[in-house]
A and B are shown apart, each in its own frame.
Chain A
């Protein structure tokens, strides 16, 4: 039942107009600003959105052109890599990584402690943390140094470029080499100094005993499926 009070309730009708989208620009913005802080408005908006959602079947799907996704990934992953790194504390600390790079694998014990604390903390001591692999990649003359950290739970490899960057028009490409097999591409090293790579599903069980390497490739990566440029740095994936 609608009571007399409801009918006189200007916020409710405003919520309906907002959800419908008919409000003029300035009023729409003003309403949106209030909406973020007023929970009573939020529930009114939810009422209308919930009901109008029944009309959404009438929107016909249309496949967007592929360039939207590539631009989107460049925008989202290109800019948020460093934000995520900043947010995650020690991972984003260049000094930490430079130090780690210098004192090498001995420090990974510390990382192991920190990292397992982060990932298994909320689940209690019984939880068995899925394997995490760290690799410290370095070249002969120290021009290029990277540290990668692969979390088998998420399939995400964090990549921290400590030293060196690709020349203009070139990309660094990450490779996984298992035993005597040919290198398999893990994707491009993110352009930001700290970023992430999603490891392809079929490579996720290859980390024990793997070597991680980077090579210098044409922009966008090797066209051949194998490294075409010089291998700049390699490192062994070590479970921590």
Chain B
């Protein structure tokens, strides 16, 4: 079932009023995407199925909190699914070691050359990730799409666990600077 953003907003509105038919319609229209999110982050079918069910229970309860002006309805639903999947994975695999608190985040040299060749029509986050040193862009993208923890990022990037947080935070600050431009 292909629905427009307005259709999905309306369905969420009716779900907020306790309409069961709307809830089932919303599930039919959106569950493949949200299941894709849970699967990608949890990397385990059985867990993803459980998570998906919990996500829709949450949607049923929290539908009245949806504010169409703040978000596209799909983004709102995806954020609920992502957050829930990440909560699950963080709760099941707590970080073994304390990681560094924020230390000096003083500037690193930008990459003006790379910046200059980027086309301006790319969307904000893609354009700004391209401006980052590649490893950091890969790490941020991986954290968003795969739900990697600091520990996993440290292993993948071969960075000591006690500095990975500062390393990633530098990337996030740069990202913000670019997004606000």
Q: CB < 8 Å: which of A49, A55, A62 contacts B145? A: A55
A24 touches B90 (CB 8 A): yes
Cα–Cα, bound, A51→B49 (Å):
27
Write the B24-67 contact mask toward A (1 if CB under 8 angstroms, else 0). 10010001110111011100000001001100110010000000
Interface residues in A116-149 (C-beta closer than 8 Å to B): none
- A84 close to B (CB within 8 Å): yes
B4-12, B108-116, B119-127: which lies at the interface:
B119-127
Chain A min CB distance to B25 (Å): 10
Query: Which residue on B lies nearest to A23, using beta carbons?
Result: B90
A75 touches B144 (CB 8 A): no
Q: Return the 4 tightest CB-CB contacts between A and B, nearest first.
A: A61-B32, A21-B86, A53-B75, A64-B35
Interface residues in A185-207 (C-beta closer than 8 Å to B): 196, 198
Seen from chain B, the residues whose Cβ lies within 8 Å of a Cβ on chain A are: 17-21, 23-24, 27, 31-33, 35-37, 39-41, 49, 52-53, 56-57, 60, 70-72, 74-75, 78-79, 82-83, 86-87, 90-91, 94-95, 99, 102, 105, 123-126, 140-141, 143-145, 147-150, 153, 165, 168-169, 172-173, 175-177, 179-181
Query: Which residue on B lies nearest to A25, using beta carbons?
Result: B90
- A154 close to B (CB within 8 Å): yes
Cα–Cα, bound, A52→B90 (Å):
20
Evaluate whether A24 and B141 lie within 8 angstroms (CB atoms) in the complex, with A54-B123, A198-B20 already known: no
Q: Collect the chain B residues with CB atoms within 8 Å of residue A169's CB.
A: none
B35 touches A61 (CB 8 A): yes
Q: CB < 8 Å: which of B36, B95, B172, B175 contacts A24? A: B95
Interface residues on A, range: 35 or more
Chain B min CB distance to A119 (Å): 11
Q: Collect the chain B residues with CB atoms within 8 Å of residue A46's CB.
A: 70-71
Q: Collect the chain B residues with CB atoms within 8 Å of residue A47's CB.
A: 179
- A184 close to B (CB within 8 Å): no
Cα–Cα, bound, A143→B10 (Å):
42
Q: Collect the chain A residues with CB atoms within 8 Å of residue B35's CB.
A: 61-64, 68
Cα–Cα, bound, A56→B175 (Å):
17
Q: CB < 8 Å: which of A2, A20, A156 contacts B143? A: A20
Main secondary structure of the interface of B (DSSP, over half): helix
Write the A2-29 contact mask toward B (1 if CB under 8 angstroms, else 0). 1000110010110011001111111010
Query: Which residue on B lies nearest to A10, using beta carbons?
Result: B102
Seen from chain A, the residues whose Cβ lies within 8 Å of a Cβ on chain B are: 1-2, 6-7, 10, 12-13, 16-17, 20-26, 28, 46-47, 49-56, 58-65, 67-69, 71-73, 75-77, 80, 84, 154-156, 196, 198
Interface contacts beyond A24-B95, A24-B150, A55-B145: sample of 4 additional A-B pairs, CB < 8 Å, sorted by A: A52-B125, A64-B49, A154-B17, A198-B19
B75 touches A17 (CB 8 A): no
B153 touches A25 (CB 8 A): no
Evaluate whether A24 and B40 lie within 8 angstroms (CB atoms) in the complex, with A56-B78, A59-B33, A80-B60 already known: no
Q: Collect the chain B residues with CB atoms within 8 Å of residue A55's CB.
A: 125-126, 141, 144-145
